[in-house]
Chains A and B, each alone.
Chain A
Amino acid sequence: MKTTEAALRADQNSEDLDNTDQLIIQRVLAGNRDAFKTLITRYSDPLYRHALCMTGSPDVAEDILQVSFVKAYQHLAEVRGRFDAWVFRIVANGCKDWLKNIRRQHLSYDEDDQPSGYATPDEELDRTELRSDLDRALASLPASLREAFVMKHVEGRSYEEMADLLGTTVGALKMRVHRAREALQALLEEKYA
């Protein structure tokens, strides 16, 4: 019962947010350019994480986010339905286009800006190694498997939400996530199992 109430409340919150998004969009379309900043602040974190995990590079993720938000602004009048889902698709397509265009390159992201939370230098070294190995393993996956894995594990989305955003079925996405996990385990288990 509590779960149902919580789900209803979450739906209500999502609907409220969607309504406020629509209000902001109306203000931007009426000429209030600064109102767009609210949408950027509201949605940039999950979009940045998606682009970062898909490309493996903070610089490229920033470029994709900038281009996507500018595109979203220019086409804001065409938004039908949820803004967050619409802008997510722009970013996801930006990532896929970038991946199509890169030659075989290993990409990993450096995180000088991220504070270290590890107890000892040895532990930190192990973590850094796992980080770069996971980057490399993710980079070797086909884009569709990587996308599914990132959305499920990093972004913590449900299969239903993923299906809604990617326009595919829950069954197909489960298959992609399962294949991605098995491929990652095959690549990394010798060292980490």
Chain B
Amino acid sequence: MVDDLRSDDGLGGFDGHHHRQPRRSDKKERPLADREVPLGQQEQDARVLSPAVHAWLDGELPEASVRKGDTARDVEFWKQINGEVERRRRVHTPVYLEAQIMERLPQSAPAAVITKWWQREYVVTPTAAIITAAALVMTAAAVTAIVMAFAR
């Protein structure tokens, strides 16, 4: 049931990291037309679903309120899809993967980011603000006094 999942041109940056051989299908590859729906085709064919069905799928309406009239068929359809989706929700990471990731981590600690002082975030507390303001006032007073002394 698995097609060739690893064409040489399809891994975009991930092809250098394979640890396992690709699993190839024993079955003859199906013709392309059988495997694809051209992009945009499904949108052209799409029929607009009732807002009530969307609301039910979003958990905003109970099933009973949409299981009547024209939408009953949609509810049956989406219950089948939801059953399959539910199964995917239970999929777990393969047990060996964590060890594989740990093996591939660099031995050194991650590099610290050196942020320039003017790009850093500073937290200004009321005490720090008062001290800074007082220091600025005193500095300004001292500079003014020196300037005045030289001016005379």
A contact residues vs B (CB 8 Å cutoff)? 28-31, 33-34, 36-37, 40-41, 44-45, 48-49, 52-53, 57-60, 62-67, 69-70, 73-78, 94, 97-98, 100-111, 113-114, 127-128, 130-132, 134, 136-137, 140-142, 152-156, 159, 178-179, 181-189, 192-193
Contacts and interface: CB of A to CB of B under 8 A. Distances in A.
Contact of B42 (A52, A152, A187, A193): A187
Given A67-B13, A101-B10, A130-B80, A181 B73 contact: no
B9 A101 contact: yes
Given A105-B10, A137-B37, A74 B111 contact: yes
Contacts of A134: 81, 84
Given A65-B101, A182-B49, A74 B81 contact: no
Given A48-B93, A59-B20, A74-B110, A107 B3 contact: yes
Nearest to B14: A63
B1 A110 contact: yes
A37 B98 contact: yes
B102 A45 contact: no
Closest 6 CB pairs of A and B: A101-B12, A106-B35, A102-B10, A140-B37, A182-B46, A183-B42
Contacts of B106: 70, 73-74
B101 A70 contact: yes
Interface size class of B (residues with CB under 8 A): 35 or more
Contacts of B14: 60, 63-64, 67, 94, 98
A67 to B, nearest CB: 6
Nearest to A131: B84
A60 B98 contact: no
A39 to B, nearest CB: 10
Given A106-B35, A134-B81, A187-B37, 6 more contacts: A28-B109, A60-B14, A107-B3, A140-B36, A185-B78, A189-B77
A127 B17 CA distance: 33
Q: Is the interface of A mostly helix, strand, loop or mixed?
A: helix
The interface centre, meaning the residue of A34, A62, A65 with most chain B CB atoms within 10 A of its CB, is A62
Q: Is the interface of B mostly helix, strand, loop or mixed?
A: loop
Contacts of A130: 80-81, 84
Contacts, number: 204
Given A36-B105, A77-B112, A63 B17 contact: yes
A31 B46 contact: no
A159 B54 CA distance: 13
Interface string B39-75: 1011101111100001001100000000000000110
Given A66-B100, A101-B11, A33 B85 contact: no
A152 B111 CA distance: 36
B116 interface: no
B119 interface: no
21 contacts: A29-B109, A37-B102, A40-B102, A48-B91, A48-B97, A57-B5, A62-B97, A70-B105, A74-B110, A98-B12, A102-B7, A103-B10, A113-B94, A114-B91, A127-B84, A128-B1, A153-B57, A183-B42, A185-B78, A187-B37, A192-B77
